Amino acid sequence: MTKDEWMKDGTEYCCYCGTPKVSFGCCGENHFETFAQMSSEAQDEFLQYEDEDTAELEKIMLEVWQPVQPEQALQRMTEDAEAMGLYKREWVGLTDEEVSKIIGDEIGFNACWGPEEDFAKAIEAKLKEKNT
């Protein structure tokens, strides 16, 4: 904030520790004033303190919040999810009955175990290999 903005701000600060007035108090004293009510020396000190805090915060933000490309973000999210066990679910394959029912529903017949079932199991094995 600029000095003009601070002058218009109605927030009260403790005259002793500079903490904004809140319901629980600060250092235990009971004397508060707005920025505009402070002496010019107190205002200068306040602004210097705010500038130092802002500069420190900007430095931390630059160190921590580096720009991330979408691919990097996706990779980080995937690694985090894997670390938390979100992607590591136990493989559950289809039963022979489920395979037979699907083939019967999709092809329309299923007299006995044949090449269709072998094909279905081969696809299932490949999916398991790729996903576990």
**Model pTM score:** 0.34
Tell whether 54 and 93 lie within a shared domain.
Answer: no
Q: Report DSSP letters for 41-91, one per residue.
A: HHHHHHHHHHHHHHHHHHHHHHHH-----HHHHHHHHHHHHHHTTSS-PPP
Residue 28, in any domain of the structure: yes
Look at the chain and report how many structural domains it folds into.
Answer: 2
Tell whether 93 and 117 lie within a shared domain.
Answer: yes
Tell whether 102 and 58 lie within a shared domain.
Answer: no
For the segment 70-127, what is each residue's pLDDT rounded down to a tens digit? 777 777 777 777 777 666 667 788 888 888 888 888 777 655 667 778 888 888 888 8
Please give the residue range of the domain that contains residue 118. 80-131
